[in-house]
Amino acid sequence: MFAVFNFVTNVHDVLQVSRADFENCNTQSPIASYINGPATVNLNTSGDYYFICGVGVHCSQLRQRMTLSVVASSTSAPPPTTGGPTVGTPPPPTTTTPPPTSTPSGPSGAASSNGHGKAAIAAVVLTASVAALVL
């Protein structure tokens, strides 16, 4: 997954910082710095990511900072149930999903039932949120 920060080079920057540096708007020891906009930041692991603008008072007074929380998606099937219904208990109802009647248009994999579609949607939402916040 990734986030895109849309900002004007030499007007803003993006610093990835620790939580303590985020809370204090400390620009002295960034984990990573992105000085050319737009900047794409890979979010490869689950956890919280902290970003601030390191230009002037943009973080401390203008509050140009944000936290992104990345949660691992669950793509495994639920565990199988053990045993069957007990005597006198009707079986649970079953549902069947009919096959699609037409092929979806758009890029390959745009509509997915294997969980990857959710990740793609999350990436788009994160990108839009980040871009709107930094502008």
Tokens representing residue 36 in the block: 């050319």
Do residues 1 and 119 lie in contact, with contact meaning Cβ atoms separated by under 8 Å?
A: yes
What residue segments make up the domains of the chain, in order of their start? 2-70
Q: Please state the separation of Cα 95 from the chain's center in Å.
A: 32
Which string of b and e fits 23-57 if b means at least 16 CB within 10 Å? eebbbeebeeebeebbbebeeeeeeebbbbbbbee
| DSSP tag of 66 | E
Give the model confidence (pLDDT) of 26-82 as tens digits.
Answer: 999 999 999 999 999 999 999 999 999 999 999 999 999 999 999 988 766 555 555
CATH number of 2-70: 2.60.40.420
Predicted pLDDT of residue 109: 36
The answer, yes or no, to whether the previous bond of 38 is cis (omega within 30 of 0) is yes
Nearest to 117 by CA among 127, 126, 109: 109
Q: How high does pLDDT run on average in the chain?
A: 73
Which range, of 10-14, 102-106, 125-129, averages the lowest pLDDT?
A: 125-129
